[in-house]
Amino acid sequence: MVDGEPSISFPDHFSGHAADYARFRPDYPGALFDYLAGISPARRMAWDCATGNGQAARALADRFARVVATDASAGQIAQAVPHPRVEYRVAPAEASGLPDGAADLVTVAQALHWFDRPLFWEEARRVLAPEGVIAVWAYDLVRVDPGVDAAVRRLAREIVGPFWPPERRFVDDGYAAIELPFEEISAPDLVMEKLWVLSDLRGYLRTWSATRRYVASVGEDPLSRIEPELAAAWGDPGEPRRATWTLDLRVGLSRARM
């Protein structure tokens, strides 16, 4: 179900390539959602905020009776994969439209840095049930092997570096500089992984907001500037390689547990 329209402006860096975003972004590990379901006070309802294509929402729906998945981008919601226990809505993070105390769990995957955080924290606190859990996470650059990683770093830092939105700095430091105004608890170390051929990596790199902004400004594909070293480092382009990302996860409670 898609419902409502956002009334708060937001920096929309992804609607124009929502289909590619849905295809090439990495999957979050099942262990993440098992952990969050295990520490939630109940499993009645989870709110997945800034759901994108619904990747986290669908995983939560395997563990919660109901998931409300919101995103300010109608383009992202249009690409979301249906699930019988997921209700998709177009709504900004700061004004979900959910009732007070409705959510046992609030999640934000790779999006918190785009929010008006003071307003979002207020909204999350309102929507969370007593003893509810809030979990936010991000991931930085993909890792394959030293040669591929060096090419990816050069693309990210030197070539498209000036085109990253300023909020990207929070991802670069693993969300360490972002305030979490809840009782924070320790979270497990988790890694995402995909088995990719070279074309998958290229597709992923083209979903970066900085890549898109570079193309719009310069008029060329920035991947052309790393293509020789990337191809040499990868080897056989059809050979699957293991791509990994470290998940930077922060978890808080809506109030102290006794």
What pLDDT score does 7 carry? 39
| pTM, 2 dp | 0.86
- The H-assigned helical ranges of the chain are 18-24, 30-39, 55-61, 74-78, 117-127, 146-153, 168-172, 198-205, 209-218, 227-234
Segment 103-145, tens digit of pLDDT? 999 999 999 999 999 999 999 999 999 999 999 999 989 999 9
What pLDDT score does 20 carry? 59
Q: What SS3 state is found at 95?
A: coil
- Per-residue pLDDT band for 255 (boundaries 50, 70, 90) equals confident
What pLDDT score does 26 carry? 84
Average pLDDT score over the chain: 91
Pick among 3.40.50.2000, 3.10.129.10, 3.40.50.150, 3.40.50.1370: CATH of 15-140+166-193+245-253: 3.40.50.150
Segment 184-193, tens digit of pLDDT? 999 999 999 9
Segment 22-32, tens digit of pLDDT? 677 788 999 99
Contacting residues for 119 by C-beta, under 8 A, at least 6 apart: 8, 93, 94
User: How many percent of the chain have pLDDT more than 70?
Assistant: 90
Residue 258 has pLDDT above 80, yes or no: no
- For the chain, give every domain's residue range: 15-140+166-193+245-253
Residue 157 has pLDDT above 90, yes or no: yes
What pLDDT score does 21 carry? 52
Residue 78 has pLDDT above 50, yes or no: yes
What are the respective helix, strand and coil percentages of the chain, to the nearest 5?
40, 25, 40
d(CA 28, CA 109): 9
Residue 15 has pLDDT above 80, yes or no: no
